[in-house]
Amino acid sequence: MKYSHLIFSYLLMSVSNAFITGRKSNNAASLMPRSNIASSSSSMMQSVVTNHEVVRVELGDDRSYPIYIGGKFEPSEGGAMLASHVHGNRCLIVTNDRVAPILLDKYVEMIESNGKQVDTLVLPDGEENKSIDVMTMVLDKAMELGLDRKVTFVALGGGVIGDMVGFSAAIYQRGVNFIQVPTTVMSMVDSSVGGKTGVNHPLGKNMVGAFYQPQCVYIDIDTLSTLPDRELQSGISEIIKYGLIQDADFFIWLEKNMDGLLNRNLEIFTYAIKRSCEIKAAVVEADEKEAGLRATLNLGHTFGHAIESGSGYGHWLHGEAVAIGTAMAAQMSAKMGWIEDSLVERIYNILLAAKLPLELPVNSPMDQETFLKLMSKDKKVANGQLRLILLKGELGNCVFTGDFDEQAMIDTIDTFVAECKGKSA
């Protein structure tokens, strides 16, 4: 199959309220009362959303599941909700050593108080631990505890934990249930939704894994109150992506509400996360195994993964690398005349407003050769041909294609490399 110049210009405007599963066409920008948003200015603690939202991911047969999104879940309410998705008697909560001191006891109690037997495992934090070896620790723990096929794994943490625990659930006894409890913006809007699980290989990011859907995703936005600013901003880069690839109105809403996001306004965050989950859910429903459309979620990621990998994991946060990658994709699209320069400017402005990096750092080890070598290992390469997600046309439109001007790509890489070398000289 070839996906040259397929333009995906979906405007999947949808609303979903608590326990209402249907979607109706609407204007995303009009969903929230503007006056309220303008007046709410500071911390997450100020406003209280009493009802949670539910976005459903509809995948047919037994793989559909709800995403619960709320800012003030009652522990009893949340515990019952989670326990209802633990179909056996036992569950294993896996988290990392940064999240464990803050949240582990709370979640153990929430689920135990609903009559389930809970065991726990704390893994070392960090992208460098997203490996086959660390993932195997989950399997070892489950075997030592004698957990059978009816167990449910609970992934409590960011994207690394979610991807790794999801993958271990996919392969433990050929598949057991699991629940995603994402605790970072990045994992709430991206990695916890859609069933991509896996670990890194020393030669490439996310190269080992499975498509495997959770029983539910439980997003308590209140957990973001302890998230470092830099990680918050990293996650926002994925939120911006959703606007760019297919929802111009959402992008415009984000331009207007970036301060509220950075200030962790609960209502603004709830809407941004819900809208992101809705877009991701619709894309995953249409193309679960990434035959085409789903690849558009990787805007900026082919450049971004190369930057992450070439700079050594841990130097950049994923969303930061994606922000630079998005800037590169925008520049390249403009070089080919696919988008207006004014759109590139808006993209730079919103990424800057989100305090995201737009250039390679001084002394970056990245050069043209390194970029091309690492990009050639991208999972979207098919029969040796590189395929990219690029912007084309008006705001909110993108293409997934192998049919682009290679010189424009090389010029873009050279420009970014030269900028960074220029600074270090």
Residue 238's contacts (CB-CB under 8 Å, 6 or more residues apart) are 185, 186, 189, 190, 276, 319, 322
b/e string for 51-90 if b means 16 or more Cβ within 10 A?
Answer: ebbbbbbebeeeeebbbbbbbbbeeeebbebbbebbeeeb
Whole-angstrom Cα distance, residue 277 to residue 194? Answer: 9
- Is the Cβ of residue 201 or residue 355 nearer to its own copies in the bound state? 201
In the sheet that 398-401 helps form, which strands lie side by side, from edge to edge?
Answer: 7-8, 398-401, 388-391
Selected catalytic residue, list 96, 298, 320, 335: 298
52 is catalytic: no
315 is catalytic: no
Selected catalytic residue, list 24, 144, 174, 289: 174
Query: What number of CA atoms fall less than 13 Å from residue 349's CA on the CB side?
Result: 11
5 is catalytic: no
Residue 314's contacts (CB-CB under 8 Å, 6 or more residues apart) are 126, 127, 128
Selected catalytic residue, list 116, 205, 280, 387: 280
In the sheet that 53-57 helps form, which strands lie side by side, from edge to edge?
Answer: 53-57, 65-70, 216-220, 177-182, 152-157, 90-96, 117-123
- Is the Cβ of residue 243 or residue 310 nearer to its own copies in the bound state? 310
Site of interaction with its own copies (CB under 8 A): 88-89, 132, 136, 139-140, 143-144, 146, 148-150, 167, 170-175, 196, 198, 201-204, 207-211, 289, 376-377, 379, 381-384
363 is catalytic: no
174 is catalytic: yes
- Is the Cβ of residue 95 or residue 200 nearer to its own copies in the bound state? 200
Tokens (6 digits) for 170: 């996919």
CB of 308 to its own copies, least distance (A): 16
96 is catalytic: no
CB of 95 within 8 A of CB of 123? yes
87 is catalytic: no
For 94, phi and psi rounded to 5 degrees?
-115, 130
Selected catalytic residue, list 238, 267, 285, 308: 238
- Is the Cβ of residue 144 or residue 406 nearer to its own copies in the bound state? 144
CB of 173 to its own copies, least distance (A): 5
CB of 144 within 8 A of CB of 177? no
CB of 60 to its own copies, least distance (A): 11
CB of 151 to its own copies, least distance (A): 9
Residue 349's contacts (CB-CB under 8 Å, 6 or more residues apart) are 255
CB of 139 to its own copies, least distance (A): 6
Selected catalytic residue, list 318, 335, 387, 392: 318
**How many other CB atoms are found less than 10 A from the CB of residue 216?**
21
CB of 381 to its own copies, least distance (A): 5
Selected catalytic residue, list 301, 335, 387, 392: 301
CB of 279 within 8 A of CB of 247? yes
| H or E element that contains 34 | helix 34-39
Selected catalytic residue, list 52, 130, 305, 335: 305
CB of 169 within 8 A of CB of 147? no
380 is catalytic: no
196 is catalytic: yes
Selected catalytic residue, list 294, 380, 387, 392: 294
Whole-angstrom Cα distance, residue 362 to residue 358? Answer: 12
CB of 290 to its own copies, least distance (A): 8
294 is catalytic: yes
- Is the Cβ of residue 24 or residue 289 nearer to its own copies in the bound state? 289
CB of 325 to its own copies, least distance (A): 20
- Is the Cβ of residue 27 or residue 136 nearer to its own copies in the bound state? 136
- Is the Cβ of residue 2 or residue 256 nearer to its own copies in the bound state? 2
- Is the Cβ of residue 208 or residue 252 nearer to its own copies in the bound state? 208
**Known catalytic residues?**
174, 196, 238, 280, 290, 294, 298, 301, 305, 318
